[in-house]
Structure 1
């Protein structure tokens, strides 16, 4: 079968062996796969990412001495079942799944070699236990957004938003936009979003941001605090030790940029007592001023991926039409154009989520 492989930071299309479904596994034809920002990071900073996972978890995410087949945001069609399967979903049905194989040594699809390819390929193997059937009325391209929306779903859950909280989303790339969509679904607001790109700010509006800010023109922190201002004691955030009570609703910030300096900007600009949730994947060393965070009693949290329950809940909301996320989709390419799509995503602020259709 054909697959897009990455090696030495470069992408190419080549023929690889079709994967074989083992016990409890299913062979699936890929219908669509999203290009994730982490794919771009892995191609450009694979060694740094391996160093981070080795230090944090004791393992390397990828074997960079061999080709890697990306692709962890996908929807596919069931082709056949391996041994020891219940076969509860009919062959020919569309499915989504967490990108993992439940083997003795778990495999994270999209970060392994051609023997366990991610969905930058014509066919993949999935674990039957993780499959979710896609209803007929859910478009394939929307189903392919389940995985990045699940990341945003967990990001918002991690914030543990208090009643009357005013969220501030920093960075309107795909994850920031998905966070805005989840916040809107949950009825949070007003939602403040900031990005230097006018194209991204427009996408933020379409996905539910109430106020969008160009940081080159206006101070987003002042805009955020103006939106959070209240003289109602029942809506005010709990007081902190040094700042005491402030005439503000609870404030929560979502860092969705992942470049050095943004966390410190949030530390410096956020009101006392703010919760900061970091979803942006910064691949280089960063610094911030702990004393400022301590004096303000800021709560800084970091988030990655999601649980199986959060993935399933995200898809349920999507299938029920409760997430209006079509504006996230900005293009579809075939395998031969994936390298060009990577370049578009690195350089074009007009693009958010580009899908790969292996049949093109």
Structure 2
């Protein structure tokens, strides 16, 4: 039976054994405290690309770090954790204070025991690459009327960036350096711009990504094949004002404002490159998700007294804060979006995202045919 002949089934994109396929699946049933929602827009996250390309490494590292089996490689998974949705119906033991038909956003997990990470479950607990999904009522946030569906879907990646900037704990004199202008690097630039930090220095090999970095607020954008981002940083961070200089270091001369470097690439070798190039007493915030083993020389970081900070996800307060900034217009995220696709186009969209010259952020619109 065609799924449109039945109100009990939906389209969903499943990942299984390293591939993506469009399937028909039952519409999930909300449990206690849960809400069935219709997915309006879902962003394709870089971590989804990594999850597909490095499934075994992701599962192994998650197991080693948390003791949790995130999912099984030979079982279907419906990814998608950046979304905007519409309330359809409430499950048992809910208050129903947000009327059906209302647009909502939510952090990507269900308040079950144990907590379920949306985007890593099967068709019975789907992520946003489906027509319908389940959310916890207690985590729902109304999407303001002036925020389009696709912009609301960017709340999650922008919250990741906000959390990374918060982890960096920049001072007013900091000169930030963003290495890698993929979606998360671009989001970090947008947050830094909103917060008033600068000048912002950014680096990426891709001309189109460099153009987007400029559009989102970077002041100095370089191609690292031609110009060292660290030398570019020195040019704009140099100061003779001792009250604006970074902390002293006995091995390196003063003369620069404080440095916070955001690693937004997530491939082996980048951390060592940053440690070698960054100024003494830099803070390095690792936001890029590397799913392979990596190594670096601790002596370099020790002599420079570099703080190495790792960042993932966000708090509930940070998520809500970002949605407020998107609604007020203080945070500009629209330049991130380069394409919109339907569910049937998701496998091809993943392939396009492998080429940074073609795409940055692709938003899936499940209703599109």
- For the pair 1:324 / 2:332, whether they are aligned, the reply is yes
Over the aligned positions, Cα root-mean-square deviation in angstroms equals: 0.9
Whether 2:62 is the aligned partner of 1:57: answer no
The number of aligned residues is 359
What corresponds to 1:355 in structure 2?
Answer: 363
CA offset at residue 88 of structure 1? 1.5
Shift of 1:349: 2.3
Q: Decide which of 268, 275, 280 is 1:260's aligned counterpart.
A: 268
1:174-193 aligned at under 5 Å gives the runs 174-193=183-202
- Structure 2 residue aligned with 1:115: 124
1:145 maps to 2:192 = no
Structure 1 residue 282, shift from structure 2 partner: 1.0
Q: Once superposed, which parts of structure 1, at least 4 consecutive aligned residues long, lie more than 3 Å away?
A: none
Q: Is contact 1:200–1:350 with CA below 8 Å preserved after alignment? A: no
Once the 2 structures are TM-superposed, how far is the Cα of residue 190 of structure 1 from its aligned partner? 0.1
Q: Is the 8 A contact 2:208 2:356 kept in 1?
A: no
Matched, 1:94 2:103: yes
Task: Report the Cα distance in structure 2 between the residues aligned to 1:239 and 1:349, rounded to whole angstroms.
Answer: 41
Instruction: State how far apart, in whole Å, the 2-side matches of 1:120 and 1:237 are.
Output: 46
Partners of 2:70 and 2:321 in 1: CA distance? 27
Query: How many angstroms does 1:64 deviate by?
Result: 1.6
Q: For the residues of structure 2 that align with 1:280 and 1:117, how far apart are their CA atoms? A: 25
Contact 2:86 2:104 in 1 (8 A): yes
The 1:22–1:88 alpha-carbon spacing in structure 2 relative to 1, beyond 3 Å, is: same
* 1:186 CA displacement: 0.1
For structure 1, the 5+ residue unaligned runs are none
CA distance in 2: counterparts of 1:173 and 1:103, whole angstroms: 33
**What's the counterpart of residue 289 of structure 1?**
297
Counterpart residue number, 1:315:
323
Please name the residue that 2:238 is paired with.
229
Partners of 2:209 and 2:288 in 1: how far apart?
A: 16
| Residues 63, 112 of structure 1: 8 Å contact kept | no
TM-score, with length taken from structure 1: 0.98
| Distance of 2:284 and 2:113 partners within structure 1 | 36
State the alpha-carbon separation in 2 of the partners of residues 325 and 37 from structure 1. 16
Deviations 1:38-74 (A, max 9, x none): 1111111111001001111111222222100001000
Q: Distance in 2 between matches of 1:324 and 1:44?
A: 30
Provide the secondary structure at the position in 1 that maps to 2:23: strand
2:170 equivalent among 147, 161, 166: 161
